């Protein structure tokens, strides 16, 4: 199966979309009927996810630099017209998007982040996150997929999700997890841990393009984070009503129309 999926006429402005941890390029399908009328959308599987199962022997191989280069190599293989694109990333995909923006600022037409953390500042927070992620990594490897996902989606950040939606998502993700080796996904998870991420709070200040942050109105944590970030960097914050952490899942129509208004 291909690692990339493309939607919309190739002559339209390019919009590259990066999913979050445990996701795949298919996660963006609900947005495609609308977005593909205004953009040439390129949805990629991140390393270790979906059909992007390049094997590596060490966890270090799958760090942020590897993910960034993997994405850029695949985009450059398409021989895009002028090489520039709008970039949209959710959660882990947003953190990778920040690294990409830092490394290739000249390639971006805009940077768009959904529920994305620019980096922990407190060493104690980093330590706690490292310990937490190590525990989650062991659960990923040792529990069956359904049990792991049942625990994963009980985290406070997913509290807005209805019981029916949570059940449906667990069943869907279980099928995907069972299809691919969890060892690679574990390596990617640890290598791109927020505990290992350098501070990227200043990246928007280094860009010539606009930087948009999308926060769900029901996601208090990332709403507050976005407001704090906005005080120190040129970020335009957009609150999406009726959504929590995963906006593109909860409110695809509202998010699509907002993206078109901002970028179109």
Residue 46 is given by DSSP the state P
Mean pLDDT of 23-49: 97
Nearest by Cα to 87 from 97, 72, 78, 96: 97
Q: What is the pLDDT of residue 168?
A: 93
Distance from C-alpha of 260 to C-alpha of 21, rounded to nearest angstrom = 25
Mean pLDDT of 89-107: 98
Q: What is the pLDDT of residue 57?
A: 52
Over the chain, what is the mean pLDDT?
94
Mean pLDDT of 239-247: 94
Q: What is the pLDDT of residue 264?
A: 82
Mean pLDDT of 45-59: 79
Q: What is the pLDDT of residue 80?
A: 80
**The residue count for the chain:** 264
Helix axes 182-191, 64-76, angle to 10 degrees: 110
> To which residue do tokens 């640890």 refer?
190
For the chain, the maximum distance between any two Cα atoms, rounded to a whole number of angstroms, is: 48
pLDDT digits (tens, 9 = 90+) for 193-205: 999 999 999 999 9
**Predicted model pTM:** 0.95
Q: What is the pLDDT of residue 16?
A: 98
Rg (CA), the chain: 17
Q: What is the pLDDT of residue 82?
A: 80
Q: What is the pLDDT of residue 79?
A: 83
More confident residue, 39 or 2: 39
User: At 59, is the pLDDT very low, low, confident or very high (cuts 50, 70, 90)?
Assistant: low
Please give the span between the terminal C-alpha atoms of the chain, in angstroms, as a whole number: 31
Among 173-187, 206-220, 230-244, name the one with the lowest average pLDDT. Answer: 173-187
> To which residue do tokens 């021989």 refer?
79
Provide the token pair at 62.
Answer: 């799958």
Nearest by Cα to 14 from 112, 77, 81, 90: 81
Nearest by Cα to 233 from 261, 255, 200: 200
Q: What is the pLDDT of residue 180?
A: 85
Provide the token pair at 208.
Answer: 């010539």
Nearest by Cα to 207 from 90, 84, 93: 84
């Amino acid at each position: 199966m291909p690692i990339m999926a493309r939607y919309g006429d190739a002559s339209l402005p390019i919009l590259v979309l990066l999913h979050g941890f445990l996701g795949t390029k298919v996660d963006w399908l609900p947005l495609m009927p609308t977005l593909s009328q205004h953009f040439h959308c390129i949805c990629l599987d991140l390393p270790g996810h979906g059909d992007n199962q390049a094997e590596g022997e060490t966890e270090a191989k799958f760090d942020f630099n590897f993910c960034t280069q993997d994405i850029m190599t695949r985009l450059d293989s398409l021989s895009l017209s002028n090489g520039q694109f709008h970039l949209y990333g959710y959660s882990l995909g947003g953190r990778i998007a920040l690294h990409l923006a830092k490394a290739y600022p000249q390639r971006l037409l805009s940077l768009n982040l959904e529920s994305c953390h620019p980096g922990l500042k407190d060493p104690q927070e980093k330590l706690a996150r490292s310990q937490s992620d190590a525990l989650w990594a062991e659960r990923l490897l040792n529990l069956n997929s359904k049990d792991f996902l049942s625990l994963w989606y009980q985290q406070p950040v997913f509290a807005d999700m209805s019981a029916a939606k949570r059940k449906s998502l667990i069943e869907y993700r279980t099928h995907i997890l069972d299809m691919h080796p969890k060892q690679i996904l574990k390596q990617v998870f640890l290598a791109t841990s927020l505990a290992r991420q350098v501070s990227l709070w200043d990246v928007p200040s280094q860009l010539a393009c606009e930087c948009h942050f999308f926060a769900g109105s029901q996601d208090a944590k990332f709403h507050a984070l976005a407001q704090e970030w906005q005080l120190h960097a040129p970020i335009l914050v957009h609150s999406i009503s009726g959504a929590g952490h995963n906006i593109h899942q909860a409110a695809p129509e509202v998010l699509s129309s907002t993206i078109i208004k901002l970028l179109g």
